[in-house]
Chain A
């Protein structure tokens, strides 16, 4: 158990719909990262937040948005869903302070768009 919590674990929805994925980082971690993993692709970096502020953006579609709240949990909102959005969405947090700066990943939210 990495200490990073993601909900829901599984989600099935239809094209055109909107969903929200939730992530709670490890206690004490200030950074939250979102990644998308499709069947034929590796982990694609979407966006990073640090202590409530957006710090880095990757290949995140305009239909997707995210935020980090004062209690440091984060939400990833996916709207106007398309079949191609079906993927595993991982959240990760990075330990504050020293160490290797490795990312600790949650179990992921598996999104299926029908």
Chain B
């Protein structure tokens, strides 16, 4: 099974940079995802890492270290609309296989203040 840990809450200032960490323990790892979820809305995909290193996508970057079971999501130039929950999820199963379920952490609620 999977155990995924992330901080429950974080606060940051508009225009700043924030890093949200995620650690995981897994019996089968096949990729790590970050999703954004505004209250009461559907989660939306932000980033994906399957190999070690940094993936950059505009204001958002995500890093993965498989040997350490560690990932982080970096948000730059924070905007008020970035206030949301950020969910770390690990994929079990084989890529392309029929069982590719995502196991989610409980999420980090980010509050961006003026």
Q: Which residues of A contact B (CB under 8 A)?
A: 2, 31, 33, 35, 41-45, 48, 50, 55-56, 58, 88, 90, 94, 100-108, 110
Contacts and interface: CB of A to CB of B under 8 A. Distances in A.
14 contacts: A2-B42, A31-B100, A35-B104, A42-B104, A42-B105, A58-B101, A90-B43, A101-B31, A102-B45, A102-B48, A103-B45, A104-B45, A105-B43, A105-B44
A45 to B, nearest CB: 5
Interface stretch (B10-18, B65-73, B74-82, B91-99): B91-99
B58 interface: no
A29 B37 CA distance: 22
A31 B102 contact: no
Nearest to B103: A45
Given A43-B43, A45-B102, 18 more contacts: A2-B42, A35-B104, A41-B106, A42-B87, A42-B107, A43-B89, A50-B98, A90-B42, A94-B100, A101-B96, A103-B33, A103-B45, A105-B43, A105-B44, A107-B41, A107-B42, A108-B42, A110-B40
Interface residues of B, number: 25
B7 to A, nearest CB: 13
B98 A31 contact: yes
B44 A103 contact: no
